[in-house]
Amino acid sequence: MKDKVQNEGVNAEFALKETADMFVSMFESMDNEYMKERAADIRDVTKRVISHLLGVEIPNPSMISEEVVIIAEDLTPSDTAQLNRQFVKGFTTDIGGRTSHSAIMARSMEIPAVVGTKEARSRISNGTMVIVDGLDGEVIIDPSEETIAEYRSKQEQYAQQKIEWAKLVNESTVTKDGVHVELAANIGTPEDVKGVLENGGEGVGLYRTEFLYMGRDQLPTEEEQFTAYKTVLQKMEGKPVVVRTLDIGGDKELPYLHLPKEMNPFLGFRAIRLCLEEQDIFRTQLRALLRASTFGNLKIMFPMIATLQEFRSAKSILLEEKEKLVSEGTEVAGDIEIGIMVEIPSTAVLADVFAKEVDFFSIGTNDLIQYTMAADRMNERVSYLYQPYNPAILRLVSNVIDAAHKEGKWAGMCGEMAGDPIAIPILLGLGLDEFSMSATSILPARSQIKELSKEDIQRFKEEILSMGTTEEVVELVKEKFNV
């Protein structure tokens, strides 16, 4: 940008705009949906810098002082962060998806939002009455009085429902016939623990440690990692914390590692494959985890395990680092459970063999589904094949759970499926021990499970597993279990 100003004689504003447009185009051309949507972040920062250069004041969402629904092409992260929930009753954008920052922040702020409508801005004019249904993903334009009344009632019912759910915060998760299952939460940072505890989480079922490595220009040190892991373990006060070792690759990249580009990164050099080759990175993380283990109830799991030898190699490195620390006089917990993510069909099929050596399984359905159905979950054109209730998926899940129980081990699930109201009865009937989900899904799941009888559901287990289509499974669950 500096060269443009000096050599081409353009002003700073023009140079900034041209440079930013180049990066926007670069990000928008990426195949990865998450990275593609980061183009909005670049536009946001560019707009704000240019406004300062020009001395022009840009609209400030924080100044909204009356009840509105925002209709926009897109909302930047900084725009969304400034929204006042007292006045902004919802928003809809023409572009974006579930992984866009505006959608992620809307969920955490509990503001109803529908993103990726494509045409809301062109169809809705200022002053038009609209209803934004964030639960069902619908935008109703100019609703009738009857529809407004219907949604007012829905709004009141949902508010009342949240009050009822809140009463379950300190209760354990027990079925109608007295069977206890564990409801845990998925987290990415130590700050996320607050939401886990506020929503009555019985543990952390997945700590995605890769977020410690992202958004920076070098690897985190052992000390930085130790502090993060220690903080989470201490805050959870003895409740189980399952930490997944570094899962980089696929849709999560670390530019500073300078890894070669791959034709299909989801099937490439990622997760445990990377860690077993880049052992300095892996050993540093394991040392930090082992040092933190005395501050709580730590469980360690390895991602993307495809073969028994991979697990044995990873476990061997872990035990080597444990032995080194003990010989150095560092205290390490003696009873750390070591498990694996089950996300590859070959591992699910061989679960009976793995179960003899691992301490637990955690089923990662997001990847297990895409690998089983041969459908990239980032590709909208094959999104119809992302079928968590497909009998093929359910048979693999059942096989993993049965194999674990046969060896006296436990099986959990940390994919999106674990918090799905339709999947919950099925998983309960299959015998899943631990359901790990977003923190805000815990109380609704607990409420649902309290109304279910595991014994009743198990009567339908074989019927569900013998079905041929997703639609048949969904129809049975809705009919029998009031979902």
- Model confidence over 325-360: pLDDT tens digits? 999 999 999 999 999 999 999 999 999 999 999 999
Residue with the larger pLDDT of the pair 58 and 112: 112
Sheet holding 88-93, edge to edge: 68-72, 88-93, 113-114
* Whole-number pLDDT of residue 341: 97
Place of tokens 């499970």: 449
Q: Answer yes or no: are the C-beta atoms of 214 and 252 closer than 8 Å.
A: yes
Q: Answer yes or no: are the C-beta atoms of 78 and 48 closer than 8 Å.
A: yes
- Model confidence over 37-46: pLDDT tens digits? 566 667 767 7
Is 275 among the catalytic positions? no
* C-alpha–C-alpha distance, residues 113 and 422, integer Å: 22
- Model confidence over 229-272: pLDDT tens digits? 999 999 999 999 999 999 987 656 778 888 778 777 778 888 99
CA distances from 164 to 64, 144, 158, 172, 447 (A): 32, 30, 10, 15, 9
* C-alpha–C-alpha distance, residues 294 and 382, integer Å: 46
pLDDT exceeds 80 at position 59: no
Strands 297-302 and 337-342: parallel
Closest residue by Cα to residue 340 from 312, 374, 371, 370: 312
Residue 408 CA from chain centroid, whole number:
29
Is 101 among the catalytic positions? yes
Amino acid at 142: D
Place of tokens 């990415």: 188
Specify the 3-state DSSP secondary structure of 138.
Answer: strand
Catalytically annotated residue among 101, 180, 258, 275 = 101
Closest residue by Cα to residue 368 from 395, 344, 394: 344
CA distances from 143 to 147, 337, 417 (A): 6, 55, 34
Of 250-254, 394-398, 408-412, which range is least confident? 250-254
Sign of the CA dihedral with 413 first, then 414, 420, and 421 last: positive
pTM of this prediction exceeds 0.75: yes
CA distances from 305 to 142, 249, 367 (A): 52, 14, 12
Q: Across the strands, what pairs with 184?
A: 436
* Whole-number pLDDT of residue 29: 54
Of 66-75, 383-392, 437-446, which range is least confident? 66-75
* C-alpha–C-alpha distance, residues 164 and 168, integer Å: 7
* Residue 159 CB burial class (10 angstroms; 0-12, 13-18, ≥19): exposed
Q: What is the mean pLDDT of residues 145-169?
A: 90
